[in-house]
Amino acid sequence: MASFLVLIPPGGPFADHAGTRFLRDGFSFFGFVLPAIWLFTQRAWVLGLAVLVIQIAALTLMAQDGLAPVVAVVLFAVSLLTALEGVHIQSMLLQHRGWVLDDVVVAETLGDAEDIYFGSLPMTEETARPVAADWSRTSQSSASRTPGGATFGLFDYDGGR
């Protein structure tokens, strides 16, 4: 199981949560292979520049006699640190720009994480989806229905979870 960080954009969530971001917290393979470029793609300019300077300095020191094993360890450590902590760095940068860490969801896939998160949100008039005609409940008013409680992982008649 993976954990997903749920971030809400500055100014609060939109009515349809179109701006809500899910970041999978885990090992980033691209961050391990090319850490400086990965940091640049995540708009972590200062950290990307620092990693690039460390990599260039390490590669120039590799030509010195006897320093190759030490330089290899330094390069491996920088790559591993970026791969393991890259999503945390990305989350902190977004929070610095005004995003809000709303929740951490544990799920198998991104789709499951979205289902869990959006299924736990309270239903309002703005976020409610139009429901097809419910012929079994024509005599009940919409105010008497329970707002999508948990039903052991099965869908209830109102379309909630």
Report the alpha-carbon distance of residue 139 to residue 74 in Å, rounded: 71
Report the alpha-carbon distance of residue 132 to residue 71 in Å, rounded: 64
> So where are the chain's domains?
2-120
Pick the closest to residue 109 from 30, 20, 22, 38 (CA basis). Answer: 22
Confidence of residue 34 (pLDDT cuts 50, 70, 90): very high
Per-residue pLDDT tens over the stretch 101-121: 888 888 888 888 888 888 887
For the entire predicted model, the pTM comes to 0.64
